[in-house]
Amino acid sequence: MIDAIRAIVGPSHVLEGADCAAYSRDWTGVYPSEPLCVVRPANTAEVAAVVRAVADAGGAIVPVGGNTGLVGGTQARGEVMLSLERMSRIRTIKPDARIAVVEAGVVLQSLHDAADAHDLIFPLSFGAKGSARLGGCLSTNAGGSNVVRYGSTRGLCLGLEVVLASGEVLDMMTELHKDNSGYDLRDLFIGAEGTLGIITAAVVKLFPKPVGYATALLSAPDLGAALKILRALQAASGGAVEAFEYMPHNFMRRLAQHRPDLTVPLQTGECTIMVELGGADMDAPLAETLAQLMEDGLVLDATLAASEAQRRTIWAIREASAEIKFTQLPIVDTDVCVPLEKVALFEAEVKARLAELDAEATDITVAHLGDGNFHYAVYPTRDDPAHLDAVRAVIDGVTVSLGGSISAEHGVGRSQLSTMARHKSPVALGVMRQIKGALDPDNVMNPGKVVP
């Protein structure tokens, strides 16, 4: 099989043994890989040929992009790891249509830069934008900090090109905003984490670049007040809130310990919020609204970015979250979403339940509060798998009881399989298994992920 793959992509693009070291560790370090080999195809035809070669030999494939995931979705244990790093072309940008046609291996930051040259933006953004690749963003339906205005990756995609487990290429590279001709096959592959096929290219939406940004850090007495602040800012700005990020005391304390270079220019309380508005002349509405909210007691303190450098510092504080989280092990890191009106109840109930299970455990939280997405992590006092699973079960149990989801934007991978088995509807799991069986009957594509 490996000889056949070498003939397809060239010997220098099939890595074995020690040459696979750079691919053997994901960003978290929690899910080490031991791939049979790493293959780096140059185009869709090569991907299709590699898939056929692996399928014919009874093997399996784990696709990998920037390897910045947090749930073990790219862990390989004897499978062929297929990296799309050489497929990183931006095929075209159409400014008038506000779309870009790109290959799945393009780094997110490169797409940002290319769009910026046309005074446009691709609004998907998060801390790993300098290394994350678009195929991984699509495969996990990544969210990031701008979901509150622009939506998640699914809503930013018009068309896809996918290589199926059979080696066939499914061309759905439409530029249409409307197409009701049958099942929406595109949405099957977005968020499927490579278990149904390998995304090789996409047509994505671009948006006008905001004339300016108004950015602030503020502190509020509690989460209830924070949501009132969000509504007030949405009303005052005409819906221009692009980011509304929650960083409570446990986050700010660890930030001070591990990133003292990121000084916080305000007196932070239990509830620190980063907010950004996008548009022309947004500084005045932001300042005026915050001043009124301070009079009302909903804002305790605030500082507005007076320059682009200050804005970048505020963003760096938020984007340091993953780095800060993984400074301590063991960790149970979650990615849940709850209805907005229940965010305060979620936090209170989880803390109370965990205190009963592990009184000495500590936690850290950061949240995309504008869409109810909590990245709630716990540092348990014991590292045995049963205890870690019990901690996760508490968090996920509270989430589901409040009508929430156990995965908002990171995906399921390996880490959430037990939770899927516990909480996902048996009917939904049955449908997922039927879809997997129909598209990938021999379990070639990323086996052991997503569906328990």
The 3-state DSSP class for residue 445 equals: strand
The two structure tokens encoding residue 146: 């701008």
Q: Residue 150's closest CA among 371, 414, 449? A: 371
CA atoms 166, 205, 107, 214: torsion sign:
negative
Query: What pLDDT, on the 0 to 100 scale, is given for residue 27?
Result: 82
Q: Is 388 exposed, middle or buried (0-12, 13-18, 19+ CB in 10 A)?
A: middle
DSSP string for 89-104: -EEEEETTTTEEEEET
State the DSSP H helix or E strand holding residue 83, giving kind and residue range, or none if neither: strand 80-83
The 3-state DSSP class for residue 159 equals: strand
Looking only at the bridges linking them, the beta strands covering 332-333 and 301-304 are: unpaired
Number of helices and strands in the chain (H, E): 15, 19
Query: What pLDDT, on the 0 to 100 scale, is given for residue 264?
Result: 72
The one-letter code for the residue type at 407 is: S
The two structure tokens encoding residue 232: 């007030």
Q: Which domains does the chain have, with CATH numbers?
A: 2-83 (3.30.43.10), 90-208 (3.30.465.10), 213-323 (3.30.70.2190), 328-438 (3.30.70.2740)
On whether the CB atoms of residues 35 and 78 are closer than 8 A, the answer is yes
Neighbouring C-beta atoms of residue 309, cutoff 10 Å: 8
Query: What pLDDT, on the 0 to 100 scale, is given for residue 266?
Result: 74
Query: What pLDDT, on the 0 to 100 scale, is given for residue 428?
Result: 97
Q: Residue 409's closest CA among 205, 193, 86? A: 193
Query: What pLDDT, on the 0 to 100 scale, is given for residue 184?
Result: 93
φ/ψ (deg, to 5) at 229: -65, -45
SS3 sequence, 179-246?
A: CCCCCCHHHHHCCCCCCCEEEEEEEEECEECCCCEEEEEEEECCHHHHHHHHHHHHHHHCCCEEEEEE
State the DSSP H helix or E strand holding residue 278, giving kind and residue range, or none if neither: strand 271-278
Region for 301 from its dihedrals, namely left if φ exceeds 0, alpha if ψ lies in -120 to 50, beta otherwise: beta
pLDDT in tens, the chain (452 residues): 999 999 999 999 999 999 999 999 888 888 999 999 999 999 999 999 999 999 999 999 999 999 999 899 999 999 999 999 999 999 999 999 999 999 999 999 999 999 999 999 999 998 899 999 999 999 999 998 899 999 999 999 999 999 999 999 999 999 999 999 999 999 999 999 999 999 999 999 999 999 999 999 999 999 999 999 999 999 999 999 999 999 998 899 899 899 999 877 676 667 999 999 999 999 999 999 999 999 999 999 999 999 999 999 999 999 999 889 988 889 999 999 999 999 999 999 999 999 999 999 999 999 999 999 999 999 999 999 999 999 999 999 999 999 999 999 999 999 999 999 999 999 999 999 999 999 999 999 999 999 99
Q: Kindly report the pTM of this predicted structure.
A: 0.92
The 3-state DSSP class for residue 130 equals: coil
CA distance 57 to 67: 26
Q: Is 228 exposed, middle or buried (0-12, 13-18, 19+ CB in 10 A)?
A: middle
Q: Is 94 exposed, middle or buried (0-12, 13-18, 19+ CB in 10 A)?
A: middle
Query: What pLDDT, on the 0 to 100 scale, is given for residue 195?
Result: 98
Query: What pLDDT, on the 0 to 100 scale, is given for residue 178?
Result: 94
Query: What pLDDT, on the 0 to 100 scale, is given for residue 337?
Result: 96
Q: Is 288 exposed, middle or buried (0-12, 13-18, 19+ CB in 10 A)?
A: exposed
CA angle 303, 309, 310 (to 5 degrees): 10
Query: What pLDDT, on the 0 to 100 scale, is given for residue 204?
Result: 98
On whether the CB atoms of residues 150 and 123 are closer than 8 A, the answer is yes
Query: What pLDDT, on the 0 to 100 scale, is given for residue 141?
Result: 96
- Specify the residue for token string 């682009």: 308
